[in-house]
């Protein structure tokens, strides 16, 4: 078995064992096609049934399946660094410890498969004004907006310059702007998040204004998140942004130490990544303002996330000294919200899609349709 930088290499023609983010514990054998060389931890796209799925190379295939039944790996996500040996070992351990399928634990590690895709290209327009092109008032607004030389999408141009898509396309045909393909703008590189940002005077003013517009608090994640000293150093800097900042720290020993440090100074703290009642007790004892149990992720690995909310609320209600509020996180549906509220949870982070579902009910839609139909039958109008 050959290795590269300590990683097992699977050469073309061999079998690779691939773990998929599904409710399965097994690693599936796939054929490594010609021209491809894999390492343990590589992200790959493979056929699975009638569809394709993204998975992680877990090592050599086991060779138990007949060669005629083995499918080939479709592609390698070459732009991504491989999953570390430590992470793969942790997934194996977490699955064993929680009696969950390894695929479900892997699903938490790559919960957004789209992140494995190569950056998409999008059409953008850059100003290359041809003086022969007739400059109408609409085109003049496009020129003014693109005058800084930055290529922008059609949506940005039509919105900011207040022109139609047809005007933009015709201006491109006339040579006033050049159409080009660029990578879509994504999240900032992790390198940009290596240290807290230095805010300019204008940025500090904007951050302060945003903070004061919020009624109670908002969270600021401590980016270092490894050592207590690192979290405290970054948290102290972030806490100066506004009085209603809530510093977010992970539920680890160092995170609890940082929590105690900040709450003793009157700074609010959100202790996140809580997955057990025992952890929640420690967060309350450390003086956390909020504790964030991730109920959706517990559901993903076969546990009942709402049971954890019930346990934490019951425990907190037994002790007057516990002032920590339960912030329900990783919400997946309206039932999570309603049941958590019935148990006594205080706060929730709710995705927009679930927020919209809260207002929806088929009888409301049916009743509204009936009301409108009855009103139209009267022939009346409130506003002419």
Among residues 20, 36, 28, the alpha carbon closest in space to that of 69 is found at 28
Structure tokens at 269: 């703290």
Neighbouring residues of 356: CB distance < 8 A, sequence distance ≥ 6: none
Q: How many CA atoms lie within 13 A of 239 on its CB side?
A: 21
Q: Which of 162, 179, 248, 366 is catalytic?
A: 248
Q: Burial, 116: exposed, middle or buried (Cβ in 10 Å; 0-12, 13-18, 19+)?
A: middle
Within 10 angstroms of residue 32's Cβ, the number of other Cβ atoms is 21
3-state secondary structure (DSSP) of residue 108:
helix
- DSSP-assigned beta bridge partners for residue 44: 55, 76
Among residues 301, 299, 223, 288, the alpha carbon closest in space to that of 259 is found at 288
Within 10 angstroms of residue 62's Cβ, the number of other Cβ atoms is 12
The span from the CA of 16 to the CA of 44, in Å, is 11
Among residues 65, 52, 80, the alpha carbon closest in space to that of 17 is found at 65
The span from the CA of 360 to the CA of 236, in Å, is 42
The enclosing H or E element of 8 equals strand 7-10
Task: Answer yes or no: 155 catalytic.
Answer: no
Q: Are 6 and 39 in contact (CB under 8 A)?
A: no
In which region does residue 14 sit, left (phi positive, over 0), alpha (psi from -120 to 50) or beta (all else)?
A: beta
Neighbouring residues of 77: CB distance < 8 A, sequence distance ≥ 6: 42, 43, 44, 45, 54, 116, 117, 118
Residues taking part in catalysis: 248
């Amino acid at each position: 078995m050959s290795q590269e930088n300590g990683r097992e290499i699977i050469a073309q023609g061999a079998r690779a064992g691939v773990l998929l983010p599904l409710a399965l514990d097994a690693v599936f054998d796939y054929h490594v096609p010609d021209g491809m060389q894999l390492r343990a931890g590589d992200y790959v796209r493979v056929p699975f049934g009638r569809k394709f799925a993204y998975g992680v190379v877990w090592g050599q295939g086991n060779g138990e399946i007949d060669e005629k039944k083995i499918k080939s790996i479709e592609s390698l996500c070459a732009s991504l660094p491989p999953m570390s040996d430590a992470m793969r070992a942790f997934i194996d351990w977490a699955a064993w410890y929680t009696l969950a399928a390894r695929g479900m634990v892997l699903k938490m590690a790559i919960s957004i498969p789209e992140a494995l895709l190569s950056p998409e290209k999008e059409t953008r327009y850059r100003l290359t004004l041809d003086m022969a092109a007739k400059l109408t008032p609409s085109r003049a607004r496009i020129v003014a907006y693109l005058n800084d030389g930055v290529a922008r999408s059609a949506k940005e141009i039509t919105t900011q310059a207040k022109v139609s898509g047809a005007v933009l396309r015709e201006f491109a045909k006339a040579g006033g702007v050049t159409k080009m393909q660029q990578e879509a703008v994504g999240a900032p590189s992790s390198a940009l998040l290596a240290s807290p940002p230095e805010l300019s005077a204008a940025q500090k003013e904007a951050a302060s204004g945003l903070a004061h517009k919020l009624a109670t608090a908002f969270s600021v994640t401590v980016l270092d998140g490894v050592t207590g000293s690192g979290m405290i150093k970054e948290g102290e800097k972030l806490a100066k942004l506004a009085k209603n900042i809530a510093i977010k720290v992970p539920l680890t020993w160092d995170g609890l130490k940082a929590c105690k440090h900040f709450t003793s100074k009157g700074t609010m703290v959100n202790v996140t990544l809580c997955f057990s009642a025992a952890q929640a007790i420690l967060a309350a004892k450390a003086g956390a303002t909020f504790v964030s149990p991730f109920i959706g992720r517990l559901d993903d690995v076969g546990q009942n996330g709402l049971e954890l909310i019930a346990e934490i609320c019951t425990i907190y209600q037994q002790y007057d000294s516990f002032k920590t509020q339960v912030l329900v996180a990783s919400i997946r549906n309206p039932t999570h919200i309603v049941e958590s509220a019935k148990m006594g949870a205080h706060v929730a982070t709710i995705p927009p899609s679930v927020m919209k579902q809260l207002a929806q009910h088929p009888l409301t839609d049916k009743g509204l349709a009936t009301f409108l139909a009855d009103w139209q039958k009267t022939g009346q109008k409130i506003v002419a």
